[in-house]
Structure 1
Amino acid sequence: MSTVKRKQQLEGLSEKIFLDRYAWKDADTNNAKVGDVVLVLTKDDPKFPTKEVGEIVERSGRTVTVKTRSGELVKSDVEKLTLNIEKTPEEMWDRLAGAMASVEKTPELQREWTDKFRSILDDWKLVPGGRIAAGAGASDELTLFNCYVIPSPKDSRGGIMETLSEMTEIMARGGGVGINLSSLRPRRAVVKGVNGSSSGAVSWGGLFSYTTGLIEQGGSRRGALMLMINDWHPDVADFITVKQTMGQVTNANLSVCVSNAFMKAVKEDLDWDLVFPDTTEPDYNEVWDGDLDKWKAAGRKVNHYRTVKAREIWHTIIESAWKSAEPGVVFMEYYNQMSNSWYFNPIICTNPCGEQGLPGWGVCNLSAINLSKFYDEEKHDVAWDDLATTTRYSVRFLDNVIDKTPYHFPENEANQKKERRVGLGTMGLAELMIKLNIRYGSPDSLEFLDKLYGFMAREAYLASAGIAAEKGSFQAFDAEKYLLSGFMKNMTEVYPEVGEAISNQGMRNVTVITQAPTGSTGTMVGTSTGIEPYFAFKYFRQSRLGFDEQFVPIAEDYLEAHPGEELPDYFVTSMDLSAKDHIRVQAAIQRWVDSSISKTANCPNDFTVEETKELYELAFDLGCKGVTIYRDGSRDTQVLQTEKKEDKKDTPLKETAEPAAEAAAEAPAAPAVNVAPSAPAPAAQAAGGVVDKQYKKRPQVLRGATYKINTPFGMAYITINDLNGTPAEIFLNVGKAGSDVFAMAEALGRVCSLFLRYGDHGEKVELLIKHLKGIGGSGAIGFGANRVESIADAVAKALETHVQQSAHEDHAPAPIAATLALEDFESALNAELKAGGVAPAAPDAEADHGHGGHGHSHSSATSRDLCPSCGSASLINIEGCKTCGNCGYSRCG
């Protein structure tokens, strides 16, 4: 047992995170007894639960009473408690030190390294990755690796299902997954075996995303997924824009793998060919794995699909990133040129947060040095000697993880033993720089970062070479080829002693350094996360533990010590920096990172598409391996924010997918993690109840009018009912019951009604018309003022008509039947019955009631559904089959 002085005390959210995620759990909550410190569920919501720390003060049978830290008494069933074996960080540090030292060869070495590991764990100098902290020494079943990349799926139904099974198994055990979809044939490509055509790589990505949303890790953490596609794939444009369709691929981060040749084509405005291997090649099914260069080098045939301007694809990427922070970009060819595994194991994808590029069956093995603990106050400098020791010990700590973790896939074990990849990173950088009075992003800071991260890289590589001399190099090590990687050329030019050590002693690990987001562990420790500046010095954080207000201690301490003063300019937050400052910092650190970096370039709301383009190209020019921006306000919901919304209990922020690499709840896309603050959009304010919560209860009877409007999907019957003379609800009846159009129309009506009946905003109807009017789909119907672009556009037109008619009436609204032509009475009656809570009989919209009151033929009013192949509103029933008049798709039954 270590003799290190016990001094660590956690409070507030830090204590909650520790007990919830990293402390050793007692699986049998029936062991709970009076006096135990537990996490108790205070809000039992499947998506937004709230937990509090407290002490059990009474137990009767299975019911316990917990007194929370705030003094509240909460009654709970023991099943809803989180009961821990470990109550303090010191107990966890003892466990981790012993577990990691246990793989050393002799009892003497085990004792030596238990003490050494315990010394760097003390006071959070080394903060292990989440899986290591939770599993090492606590379970022989839990993986100690945060994330995985699995090989690109084989281009067959069986291959896709096999990848799905592998992904599910990894996620169920707590790991995030990265998948490159480029091995899957493009949409409409021929599938000979079934005499049909493929639905495309993006549609299968949707399957992986959907499954990810179903998986809960540890009972509350959703799975984490990264999907990538290469720039030559014919489906690349669909991939870039897929999230612009509501509900598509909602549980994955997206990134495009970009080559040097593509970037050259962008800069010189050249053509770009979209291609895919010829699937009729005899050995296609056995050989094709998504590596196009290898396929071409073997002399196999490639089919040309189409030629586009490279700038068109690039602009689509930029515009989409500007709109919603996705997709990110990974400069994959450059990544492989820099990679130490270039000669035997190509990088094909990254983990969900983007900081770790990996080959197929590669894993993330992560921990972070807390730089805030290495400030020498007496010298006003970095405590360089202590940092060197901690760095060297930390490399051995992570190398031992490789031998300690259980492997659930033999392919993972074989690959990791072949390359022994580790990822030592940092947290607390921003706090250290504030202590040193260095402004993050300034020219001085870039010089400091080069010195700091170069120093750590040198120490880490010398440590790995030293371990290789003792225990042997990774299996695929070849000194001559290893030293030819782009990264090692830079390393040995600045630090020739590293090259000499590797040549003489070998190298234990193919890579050593990774800069992960460390969102949860950094928050637990109470310092800045990853390499990011502070998000803000006071903010609110929504997570699966609840909604918590956070203060940055270093800023709070300064203001207490200097009453009446403002924070100096070296107290800089994420949004204080220019986007280019973010990229310059990333590039300065990337020079000394052999893997990659999870980093976001935060931009103001008025940041333009053209500025986004300049930023992405600057990242490439400066040698970054990937880039993602977050434009303030470009997403409706955020995990971190600077203002507390009054109704958080009623409308909590949506928590984004939370990768196992610790904190991807803050990751908009790879390689990004920290999300900037934003004010809600006006529509979101009104519709979501962010501004007011007064919901007008519906009376038993409402009256209004039903409008009959032809749309591209068939005849729509739009009922608008009034409350106190103002539209209060909308019902839509379009298409056959059971069709996608019918379901979407009903959903649109419900959302509009919800919007109209919240609060007292007097311009709601005008706002709704403004946002719905002119929305276009795959077709339109009518001409001039009667032209209808979509169902949403039809609702806007009906609302406009309704408001105009109401403005000229000086009496109460007439009964619904009196406002309509006789031929529409059946539909009107059904709508009134529905409004009164009685289920109506569905009208036959396809038949148009046998009338031509609007001058349209029977065929023009035919209800159409959405085609799952081309997406147009062209799917109609013909002789018992659904057939698309646009692309020819057909489905019977």
Structure 2
Amino acid sequence: MKKLEGLSQKVFIDRYSLKDKKGNPLEKTPVEMWRRVAKAVAQNEKKENQKFWEKEFYYAFKDFKYIPGGRILAGAGTGFSVTYYNCFVIPSPKDSRDGILETLKQMVEIMARGGGVGINMSSLRPRGSRVKKVNGFSSGPCNWAELFSVATKDIIQQGGTRRGALMLMLWDWHPDIEEFITVKQDLTRINGANLSVCVSDKFMEAVEKDGDWELAFPDTSDPEYDAKWDGDLEVWRSLGKKVEVVKTVKARKIWDLIADAAWRSAEPGVVFMERYNKMNNNWYWNRINCVNPCGEEGLAPWGVCNLGSINLSAFVKGKDIDKKATFDFELLKRVVKSAVRLQDNVVDMDPYVFPGIKKTQLEGERRIGVGTMGLGDTLIRLHLRYGSPESLGFIEKVYKLIRDEAYLASIEAAKEKGVFPKFDKEKYPQGKFIQTLPKNIVAKIKEFGIRNSIILTQAPTGSTSLMANTTSGIEPVFEFEFIRRDRLGEHVVRHYLYEDWYKKHEQEVKDGKTKKPDWFVSANELSPEDHIFAQATIQKYVDASISKTVNAPKTHTVEDVKKIYNLAYKLGLKGIAYMREGSRVGVFERKEDKKDDKKEEPKQLPVISKRPMVIQGLTYQTQTPLGDAFITINSDKQDNPFELFITIGKSGSDVAGMAEALGRVISLVLRLQSPVASRERIRQIIAQLAGIGGMRSVGFGENRVKSLPDAVAKVFAEHFGFKINGKILDVKKDGVKNGEYKNGEVKEKLNGDLVHNQSNGDLNKSMVLQQLTLSSDQSVHDGLFDLCPSCGGATLAHEEGCKKCYSCGYSEC
């Protein structure tokens, strides 16, 4: 096995290696971990079979061909009574204070043990509803959601590696659905949870026909309300219970709100929950009402995620990146069988802290979730562009094989160990997904039964894929090169396959004679449709669902979002997570004008100077600990400083948001009418910002930049002629001109013509007319990442409907 290095080694040691009481690693290599886990899980087999399966499990683990879920790797064979399940869905809270707090307690207990939680909040009565027991009014599910969000974000830290993960859902019929859809446009609200709307087929039909849609809730005066109401309106109606229609709206109004909210803030997600239940293998006894935090598993109350991933890139044969590799399908068959067997054994090994989990999983479903990782890397080595017709053909072949072999393996296990407890020989084969299986497999299920009711999924593989040094889940490569900054300086980090190709063709690239092949395509270079087609191809062969992010360009419109969502529905997806570049910033930029009926106030002189249509200034390019910043300073016709723009990081990232906020506040100070002279205000701004320090710095001596605010102070001092030397000294230079500075050469704009003068300096400057146009020299990769809340590095990627850090291995899933 190739020795682990860098981040892969760090993730293995921090997350999965066995440690002593002081936290020192007892396992120095994955081989030791593989032997521990293989031996532990094989103990669940009959004694005469233990050695055989221990060898098979180890063979599957070797070279990261198959990687069980992180809970299994960290817990199996350690002697600790820990859960092996990653995520859970708990029952919707009872519609009372006691019921809500009981659900909160259950959530906290699960998260404290490392599990993520999904909760459907539809059981809670809408805002403003009468609560007779206390003679008051309900605050509604969105307000209660804040409580669960705060507990997840600010209280739970799972082993110091991540905060708790929470999914909150609401059905499309709930009277508060409009508030739920738009609530996260205020970024201060419910920011400790993912939100998704449960969408029914009936709603989609109403959208297509432009029909009416009733927002309704059970009659809370029903004598059996407290005992029978569980948040599922369809079940409530099937009991013959009364439903009160609160209001009727056009279905397209709700649909438009969902698309607009996703366009603005990337939430809520959409889960086609009625389709989930129609395709549910357990349709005859267990209804799905929620999904786990990452969305790949629709689960009944007390359902669990029992995860493991096959690393497709480990089955590719051929090392020369310039030559098209081959794929070993026979080896894949062997590993699929081991994956199913191992994850079935885990069902018997979990300690089952909550009785509800034991009843649903051990005594009911015996659900497993075999998935994949490394698809992006695999397609590159096979010279297939992600999303192309050729790639979809290969994807179809791979995932059909995995489906068929996984079901056959579970049937074989049923012959030896028995079927899952709730198996019904007549009803189970009638399931809509089961009907898509080859006839010979359906026949075997009817004859022998099956060990596991649900077998396949596509989960995020954030930290495990980092350890295996391959792409996450079914995602394409997030980005082929990015900048990592640490105490030793700045490093360009390239994806390992792209690095192999780049080393061979570096001179040709520099000479402009070649470009990277089109099969080196990153997530942000693909069209949203490419993402959808790949996901839909895989969904056909997965009985659960898929966690994946559909990336969209900043130019995408709300109408484009609706087209993508409609396409996802028509192609058979069970859910969709959408991320438009800049969507997190848009919530601040687009604000509707509101009229009021107040009487007109007496006219006053403007407090803030009005911005003219055309304004000139300079743009400075400077290094900061967070990457290159482009700082634009504009002045009015009287040469008074007027506004500041700071561009750094990817649109929608925390870095970009903080930079924008800093620029806005400084611009406000510059534009406010004040008796304080303009240069004195500049001096005070520099004094406040200079020297502010963060976790890292760049540069040395007087050129050392300690933080983004410190960089802004230095640029202000350079532009306005101040010197930072303990005090802010005025050393104003004459003849500061508008111009463009690039690579040591200044172009001055004089009488409409450009003339060239040679100059020296450390900062790049460019003329700005009306709007800023960034230099093409800024690397494509610089700014696609966000700030990591664990290590602080600007290497946090949004993918698989989740977030993970490429510097420290932090993951939110």
Give the distance between the partners of 2:101 and 2:485, measured in 1 at CA.
Answer: 35
Alignment counterpart, residue 647 of structure 1, candidates 605, 624, 627: 624
1:608 aligned onto 2:554: no
Alignment counterpart, residue 25 of structure 1, candidates 19, 22, 41: 19
1:399 aligned onto 2:344: yes
Task: Give the CA deviation at 1:559.
Answer: 2.4
CA contact (8 A) 1:206 1:249 kept: yes
Give the distance between the partners of 2:44 and 2:382, measured in 1 at CA.
Answer: 39
Q: Note the alpha carbon deviations across 1:164-202, whole angstroms, 9 max, x for none.
A: 000000000000000000011110111010001100011
CA contact (8 A) 1:277 1:303 kept: yes
Give the distance between the partners of 2:165 and 2:9, measured in 1 at CA.
Answer: 24
Task: Give the CA deviation at 1:690.
Answer: 9.9
1:537 aligns to what? 480
Alignment map for 1:218-233 (pairs within 5 Å): 218-233=159-174
1:369 aligns to what? 310
CA contact (8 A) 1:518 1:530 kept: yes
Alignment map for 1:9-20 (pairs within 5 Å): 9-20=3-14
Going from structure 1 to structure 2, the CA distance change for 1:327 and 1:680 (only over 3 Å counts) comes to closer
Q: Note the alpha carbon deviations across 1:820-874, whole angstroms, 9 max, x for none.
A: xxxxxxxxxxxxxxxxxxxxxxxxxxxxxxxxxxxxxxxxxxxxxxxxxxxxxxx
1:526 aligned onto 2:473: no
Any idea what SS the aligned residue of 1:610 has? helix
Task: Give the CA deviation at 1:341.
Answer: 1.1
Alignment map for 1:43-192 (pairs within 5 Å): 83-106=24-47, 108-192=48-132
CA contact (8 A) 2:583 2:652 kept: no
Q: Note the alpha carbon deviations across 1:320-374, whole angstroms, 9 max, x for none.
A: 1111211100000011111101111111111111111111000000010000011
Alignment map for 1:581-600 (pairs within 5 Å): 581-600=530-549
Alignment counterpart, residue 421 of structure 1, candidates 367, 373, 389: 367
1:558 aligns to what? 501
CA contact (8 A) 1:431 1:527 kept: yes
CA contact (8 A) 1:646 1:690 kept: no
Deviates more, 1:445-454 or 1:525-534: 445-454
Q: Give the residue type in structure 2 aligned to 1:9.
A: K
Task: Give the CA deviation at 1:585.
Answer: 0.6
Task: Give the CA deviation at 1:727.
Answer: 9.6
Give the distance between the partners of 1:202 and 1:595, measured in 2 at CA.
Answer: 28
Q: Give the residue type in structure 2 aligned to 1:16.
A: K
1:454 aligns to what? 400
Alignment map for 1:841-860 (pairs within 5 Å): none
Alignment counterpart, residue 278 of structure 1, candidates 191, 216, 219: 219
Any idea what SS the aligned residue of 1:724 has? helix
Give the distance between the partners of 1:460 and 1:580, measured in 2 at CA.
Answer: 29
Task: Give the CA deviation at 1:681.
Answer: 9.8
Give the distance between the partners of 2:544 and 2:190, measured in 1 at CA.
Answer: 27
Task: Give the CA deviation at 1:540.
Answer: 4.9
Q: Note the alpha carbon deviations across 1:288-334, whole angstroms, 9 max, x for none.
A: 00111111011111111011111111111101111121110000001
Any idea what SS the aligned residue of 1:479 has? coil
CA contact (8 A) 1:440 1:570 kept: yes
Task: Give the CA deviation at 1:757.
Answer: 8.1
Any idea what SS the aligned residue of 1:440 has? coil
Going from structure 1 to structure 2, the CA distance change for 1:549 and 1:158 (only over 3 Å counts) comes to farther
Task: Give the CA deviation at 1:512.
Answer: 0.6
2:248 aligns to what? 307
Give the distance between the partners of 2:53 and 2:42, measured in 1 at CA.
Answer: 5
Give the distance between the partners of 1:588 and 1:527, measured in 2 at CA.
Answer: 21
Give the distance between the partners of 2:469 and 2:149, measured in 1 at CA.
Answer: 33
Q: Note the alpha carbon deviations across 1:693-726, whole angstroms, 9 max, x for none.
A: xx99xxxxx999999xxxxxxxxxxx98976145
CA contact (8 A) 2:622 2:711 kept: no
Going from structure 1 to structure 2, the CA distance change for 1:690 and 1:355 (only over 3 Å counts) comes to farther
CA contact (8 A) 2:169 2:290 kept: yes
Unaligned runs of 5+ in 2: 509-513, 587-620, 630-648, 686-708, 720-813
Unaligned runs of 5+ in 1: 1-6, 30-82, 638-643, 653-675, 697-701, 708-718, 730-753, 765-893
Give the distance between the partners of 1:682 and 1:171, measured in 2 at CA.
Answer: 28
Going from structure 1 to structure 2, the CA distance change for 1:255 and 1:540 (only over 3 Å counts) comes to farther
CA contact (8 A) 1:689 1:758 kept: no
Give the distance between the partners of 2:255 and 2:670, measured in 1 at CA.
Answer: 52
Any idea what SS the aligned residue of 2:71 has? helix
Give the distance between the partners of 2:517 and 2:181, measured in 1 at CA.
Answer: 42
Task: Give the CA deviation at 1:561.
Answer: 3.3
Any idea what SS the aligned residue of 2:231 has? coil
CA contact (8 A) 1:704 1:722 kept: no
1:501 aligned onto 2:460: no
Q: Note the alpha carbon deviations across 1:641-667, whole angstroms, 9 max, x for none.
A: xxx994346999xxxxxxxxxxxxxxx
Going from structure 1 to structure 2, the CA distance change for 1:680 and 1:366 (only over 3 Å counts) comes to closer
Q: Give the residue type in structure 2 aligned to 1:452.
A: V
Alignment map for 1:699-848 (pairs within 5 Å): 724-726=680-682, 760=715
Q: Give the residue type in structure 2 aligned to 1:539.
A: F
Task: Give the CA deviation at 1:550.
Answer: 3.9
CA contact (8 A) 1:260 1:334 kept: yes
Going from structure 1 to structure 2, the CA distance change for 1:487 and 1:758 (only over 3 Å counts) comes to farther
1:622 aligned onto 2:563: no
Q: Give the residue type in structure 2 aligned to 1:130.
A: G
1:433 aligned onto 2:379: yes
Any idea what SS the aligned residue of 2:584 has? coil
Going from structure 1 to structure 2, the CA distance change for 1:556 and 1:430 (only over 3 Å counts) comes to same
Going from structure 1 to structure 2, the CA distance change for 1:609 and 1:542 (only over 3 Å counts) comes to farther
Give the distance between the partners of 1:198 and 1:592, measured in 2 at CA.
Answer: 44
Any idea what SS the aligned residue of 1:279 has? coil
Task: Give the CA deviation at 1:247.
Answer: 1.5
Task: Give the CA deviation at 1:538.
Answer: 1.1
Give the distance between the partners of 2:424 and 2:410, measured in 1 at CA.
Answer: 15
Superposition TM-score, scaled by structure 2 size: 0.73
Task: Give the CA deviation at 1:434.
Answer: 1.5
Give the distance between the partners of 1:647 and 1:599, measured in 2 at CA.
Answer: 32
Going from structure 1 to structure 2, the CA distance change for 1:121 and 1:274 (only over 3 Å counts) comes to same
Q: Give the residue type in structure 2 aligned to 1:458.
A: D
